[in-house]
A and B are shown apart, each in its own frame.
Chain A
Amino acid sequence: MTSFAKPHINLKHAKRNDLGLTWHDYEGAMSTLCAGCGHDSITACMAKAFFELSIEPHRAVKISGIGCSSKTTAYFLSESHGNNTVHGRMPSVATGAAAANAGLTYIGVSGDGDSLSIGLGQFAHAMRRNVNMLYMLENNGVYGLTKGQFSASADIGSKSKKGEINLSPPIDPVTLALSLGASFVARGFSGDREQLVPLIKAGLKHNGFGLIDVISPCVSFNDHPGSTKSYAHTYQYYHPAVHADYVPMSEEIKTSYAAGEAVPVELHDGGSIILRKIDEDYDPRDRGAAYTQIAERDAKGEIVTGLLYIDESHDDMAAMNKLPARALNTMPYETLCPGSEALAALQKGYR
Chain B
Amino acid sequence: MNAPDGWKQQNGVPPTDTANPDYFHKVVDCQWACPTHTPVPAYIRLIAQGRFSDAYILNRESNVFPGILGRVCDRPCEPACRRDRVEDEPVAICRLKRVAADHKDDITNRLPKKPAQTNGKRIALIGAGPASFTVANDLAPLGYECTILERFDVPGGLMRTNIPAFRLPEKVLDEELGYILDMGVDLRLNSPVGSMKSLLDEGYDAVFVGTGAPKGKELDLPGRSEGGASIHIGIDWLESVAFDHVKSIGEKVLIIGVGNTAMDCCRTSLRLGAKNVKVMARKPRSFFKASPWELEDAEAENVEIIVNHSPKSFVVKNGKLTGMVFELMEYELDDKGTIVGQKVTGEEMIPCDDVILAIGQENAFDWIERDAGLEFGKWDMPVVDEVTFQSTEPRVFFGGDAAFGPKNIIWAVEHGHQAAISIHQFCEGNPVTVRPIDELKLSSTKMGMFEWRYSNSFDGAHRRVMPHVELAKRFKDLDVEVELGFTPEQTATEVQRCLNCDVQTVFDTPLCTECDACIDICPVDCLSITPNADENTLRHVLENPALNDDQTLFVSEALPFTGRVMIKDENICLHCGLCAERCPTAAWDMQEAQIIINHVEDMI
Contact = CB atoms under 8 A, between A and B. Distances in A.
B450 A4 contact: yes
B519 to A, nearest CB: 7
Contact of B515 (A5, A43, A231): A231
A232 B513 contact: yes
Interface stretch (A6-14, A104-112, A128-136): A6-14
B557 interface: no
Interface in A218-237: 219, 223, 231-232, 235-237
A61 to B, nearest CB: 23
Contacts of A237: 2
B523 interface: yes
Nearest to B2: A239
Given A35-B583, A36-B583, A237-B2, A12 B86 contact: yes
B572 A6 contact: no
Contacts of A231: 513-515, 561
A41 B515 contact: yes
Contacts of A14: 544
A3 B452 CA distance: 13
B2 A238 contact: yes
A29 interface: no
Given A9-B523, A9-B574, A23-B543, A38 B2 contact: no
Contact of A44 (B3, B514, B520, B578): B520
Interface in B506-539: 513-517, 519-521, 523-525
A36 B584 contact: yes
B187 to A, nearest CB: 49
Contacts of A278: 4
Interface in B521-567: 521, 523-525, 543-544, 547, 561-562
Interface residues of A, number: 42
A145 interface: no
A30 to B, nearest CB: 9
B495 interface: no
| Interface of chain B: mostly helix, strand, loop or mixed | loop
A287 interface: no
Contact of B520 (A5, A40, A236): A40
Contacts of B1: 236
A239 B1 CA distance: 9
B523 A24 contact: yes
Contacts of B524: 9, 11
A7 B520 contact: no
Interface in B79-125: 85-87
Contact of A3 (B2, B450, B515): B450
A217 B86 contact: no
Contacts of A223: 513
With a 10 A CB-CB cut-off, give which of B1, B514, B516 has the most chain A CB atoms. B516
B457 A35 contact: no
| Interface of chain A: mostly helix, strand, loop or mixed | loop
B325 to A, nearest CB: 44
B515 A15 contact: no
Nearest to B521: A6
A235 B544 contact: no
Nearest to B574: A9
B430 interface: no
B561 A236 contact: yes
A38 B520 CA distance: 11
A240 B4 contact: yes
A15 B4 contact: no
Contacts of B516: 40-41, 44, 190-191, 193
B458 A191 contact: no
Nearest to B547: A13
Interface in B566-604: 572, 574, 576, 578, 581-585
A253 interface: no
Nearest to A278: B4
Nearest to A43: B520
A178 interface: no
A210 to B, nearest CB: 23
B584 A191 contact: no
Contact of A235 (B85, B457, B561, B584): B561
Contacts of B457: 4-5, 7
A37 interface: yes
A8 B574 CA distance: 12
With a 10 A CB-CB cut-off, give which of B524, B543, B547 has the most chain A CB atoms. B543
A11 B2 contact: no
A56 interface: no
A2 B543 CA distance: 25
B584 A219 contact: yes
A189 to B, nearest CB: 10
A34 interface: yes
A11 B83 CA distance: 10
B460 interface: yes
B513 A36 contact: yes
A67 to B, nearest CB: 19
Interface in A179-213: 190-191, 193
Given A7-B576, A231-B561, A235-B562, A36 B585 contact: yes
A266 interface: no
Contact of A11 (B87, B460, B521, B584): B87
A88 B528 CA distance: 35
Contacts of B562: 235
15 contacts: A3-B449, A8-B523, A9-B86, A12-B85, A35-B583, A36-B513, A36-B517, A37-B517, A190-B516, A191-B516, A193-B516, A219-B584, A231-B514, A232-B513, A303-B2
Given A6-B521, A40-B516, A231-B515, 7 more contacts: A9-B86, A231-B561, A232-B561, A235-B561, A236-B1, A238-B3, A240-B4
Interface of A: 2-15, 23-24, 34-38, 40-41, 43-44, 190-191, 193, 217, 219, 223, 231-232, 235-240, 278, 302-303
Ranked 7 nearest A-B pairs via Cβ: A36-B584, A7-B458, A235-B561, A44-B520, A239-B2, A41-B516, A36-B515
